[in-house]
């Protein structure tokens, strides 16, 4: 991991890393005995979504919506990763209750470090912002979006970004043939 972009006052409010930035590598726990790295998904697009907390009503809609859209994301071979500062046991209970079929990562210790690195830590709340990143198969941020904290950003922006990435790859694949 390279330097952590952080504002001088330590608030971390630098805004989400913009398109064209190399996505900072991280390794986070998804279960008590399982860790996930961003580089595990190199070679396919990754959807990284930060949300403030498990169990809060708006997040509920958002995590449920993405759960419904897994087949759609799969068409783009995209990996879906949710990140919040909640601990792994909380994530496990939440994912089981909501029947979520994708990993929730725990940005728990040091708290919010990955959110800070991506410019989406929220003080004084001590949670991440509600932010979306679509990362290319080469590990570059293709699209990022910061949503108002109380508004579920939906999925249209994610799907548009995945389509752009797919369109960019197609000509290359044709050339290889």
Partner 1 sequence: MTHGKLTLPVSGRDHTLGPANAPATLLEYGDYECPHCGAAYPVVEALRERLGDILHFAYRHFPLSQIHPHALLAAEAAEAAGAQGEFWEMHDALFTHQDALDGAHLKLYAAAIGLDTGAFQRDLETQAHAGRVQEDFMTGVRSGVNGTPTFFINGLRYDGSRDFVSMYAVIAEVAEASRRAAVR
For the annotated catalytic residues, the residue numbers are 59
68 is a contact residue toward partner 1 (CB under 8 A): yes
Q: Kindly give the interhelix angle for 88-98 and 57-68, rounded to the nearest 10 degrees.
A: 60
Match 């697009």 to its residue by tokens: 45
53 is a contact residue toward partner 1 (CB under 8 A): no
Q: Which of 20, 156, 167, 171 binds partner 1 (CB under 8 A)?
A: 156
Residue 7 burial by Cβ neighbours in a 10 Å radius (0-12, 13-18, 19+): middle
128 is a contact residue toward partner 1 (CB under 8 A): no
What is the nearest approach in angstroms of partner 1 to the Cβ of residue 147?
Answer: 8
As a whole number of angstroms, the distance between CA 97 and CA 83 comes to: 17
Q: Which of 72, 90, 92, 164 binds partner 1 (CB under 8 A)?
A: 72
Q: Which of 51, 147, 162, 165 binds partner 1 (CB under 8 A)?
A: 147
Q: Which long-range contacts link 68-73 to residues 24+ away (Cβ below 8 Å)?
A: 69/155, 70/101, 70/102, 72/159, 73/47, 73/158, 73/162
| Site size for partner 1 (CB under 8 A) | 23
Closest to partner 1 by CB, 101 or 168: 101
98 is a contact residue toward partner 1 (CB under 8 A): yes
Within its chain, how far is the Cα of 11 from the centroid?
Answer: 20
Closest to partner 1 by CB, 123 or 146: 146
Q: Which of 75, 151, 168, 170 binds partner 1 (CB under 8 A)?
A: 151
Write out the E strands in the chain: 27-31, 34-37, 46-50, 79-84, 104-106, 121-122, 127-128, 130-135, 141-147
16 is a contact residue toward partner 1 (CB under 8 A): no
Residue numbers at the binding site for partner 1 (CB under 8 A): 61-62, 64-65, 67-69, 72, 98-101, 145, 147, 151-157, 159-160
């Amino acid at each position: 991991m390279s330097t952590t972009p952080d504002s001088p006052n330590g608030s971390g409010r630098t805004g989400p890393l913009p398109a064209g930035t190399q996505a900072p590598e991280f390794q986070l726990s998804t279960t008590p005995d399982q860790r996930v790295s961003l580089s595990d998904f190199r070679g396919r697009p990754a959807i990284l979504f930060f949300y403030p907390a498990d169990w809060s009503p708006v997040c509920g809609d958002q995590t449920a919506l993405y759960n419904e859209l897994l087949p759609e994301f799969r068409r783009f071979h995209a990996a879906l990763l949710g990140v919040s500062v909640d601990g792994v046991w909380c994530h496990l209970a939440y994912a089981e209750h909501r029947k979520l079929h994708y990993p929730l990562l725990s940005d728990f210790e040091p708290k919010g470090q990955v959110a800070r690195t991506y410019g989406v830590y929220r003080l004084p709340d001590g949670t991440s912002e509600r932010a979306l990143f679509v990362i290319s198969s080469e590990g570059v941020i293709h699209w990022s979006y910061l949503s108002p904290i109380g508004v579920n950003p939906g999925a249209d922006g994610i799907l548009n970004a995945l389509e752009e990435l797919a369109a960019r790859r197609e000509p290359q694949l044709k050339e290889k043939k």
